[in-house]
Amino acid sequence: MYTVRSQRKNHLARLLGPAFVAAVAYVDPGNVAANITAGARYGYLLIWVLVLANVMAVAIQYQSAKLGLVTGRSLPATMGQRLSRRSRIAYWLQAEAVALATDLAEIIGGAIALQLLFGLPLLAGGVITGAVSMALLGLQNARRQRTFEFVIMGLLLIITLGFLTGLVILPPEPQAVAGGLVPGFAGADSVLIAASMLGATVMPHAIYLHSSLVVHRHGTAARNPLGLAELVRASRVDVVLALIVAGAVNIGLLLLAASALQGVEGTDDIAGAHAAIADTFGPLVGSIFAVGLLASGLASTSVGAYAGSEIMDGLLHRRVPLLPRRLITLIPALVVLAVGINPTDALVISQVVLSFGIPFALIPLVRLTGNARLMGQYRDRLALRVFSWISAIVIVVLNLTLLWLTFTGV
């Protein structure tokens, strides 16, 4: 019996990986900026946003993976078959804006990390981050998909250690953490931060990408000897494990800022937070934090470029090779760095843009995975359909509230 169980565990372990690649999108530099800003400004107030977003993310990424496995096509490709030419172009434009916002956050995050570690100018750091991401993307092809996954998972481990080390030294107060689980806001700015946290946690490009990742890794169910049921079960485990890690990193970042940085002047941006972390915990922990940020930028920018390529291919039926695409999408981020815009502000705003892109990815996904004709016996069960629609409504309401508060000045 022990041997059988061991074989099953080893068999399952070989199927894991795609969700960990998608999960990197949930711990990118935008998350760092949004969560540190939230903790430094509002303490534990917005923990509930991260908990809710992570629960949403588990359901959403599972649905995306399941769609890819059942249909043998990515979410963008499935949508591309159902939309008219004009609709496909319009949809691609908003999805491309999301991809560019993602690239902006990730390149800037890598540039900030290199400046913190080596004192490099931000523009030079952005160029280096882009160049390394191109090297990582060189691993992404059908023959080396598993190698690409292992590299990204290794970077995810570095991210986790880099961002959570401080919590081991200075644990948060349990009573304060519990208080942050009660939903609430503290004015328009806290809604803006909450929207950026949501955009940084439930990432639209990860919703589009996960359906591609499972197809590239496992192939179509008809050609895979394991069978569809086994692949769907493995993907469910893959998603839960990957997002437990990503959720722990996100919540840990906020807790670190709330316990060590709240009320300290200048800590609501990454550079200031790094300086305060180094002062509080010592230069070694500060350097570990910066290394985690660098790994976050390198891993997530590679995954973001991969997602953009899959979105274009699915919606426009045109595939631009990954490396030229990476070079083109690098330009807006380098322009932001060159003109001297505050990098942390740019990161937070990029996450708000991502938050507005979530419904355009989520609503079609929920409709498709709830379609009995398309999904057959793998159609979402009623509880998952209800939860998914409630999630979509919450996101839309939060974004509309953000608009109203912003333009009315309340």
In 3-state terms, what secondary structure has residue 100? helix
Q: Which band of pLDDT confidence, cut at 50, 70 and 90, is reported for residue 11?
A: low
- When pLDDT is averaged across residues 369-396 and rounded to a whole number, the result is 93
Question: For 270-313, how does the pLDDT look when each residue is reduced to its tens digit (9 = 90+)?
Answer: 888 899 899 988 999 999 999 999 999 999 888 888 888 899 99
Sign of the four-CA dihedral 21, 137, 27, 105 = negative
Helices (H) and strands (E) in the chain — how many of each? 18, 0
Indicate if the pLDDT at residue 269 is higher than 80.
no
Q: At what angle do helices 343-369 and 75-82 cross, to 10 degrees?
A: 60
Q: What is the pLDDT of residue 407?
A: 65
Q: Which of these, 12, 23, 102, lies nearest to 57 by C-alpha position? A: 23
The pTM for the full model equals 0.90
Most confident of 184-198, 239-253, 315-329, 389-403: 239-253
Q: What is the pLDDT of residue 313?
A: 92
Q: Which band of pLDDT confidence, cut at 50, 70 and 90, is reported for residue 97?
A: confident
- When pLDDT is averaged across residues 117-125 and rounded to a whole number, the result is 95
Tell which phi-psi region holds residue 319, choosing left (phi > 0), alpha (psi between -120 and 50) or beta: beta
Other beta carbons less than 10 A from residue 193's beta carbon: 27
| Domain 2-408 grouped into CATH 1.20.1740.10 | yes
Q: What is the pLDDT of residue 5?
A: 58
Q: Decide which of 42 and 201 is more confident.
A: 42
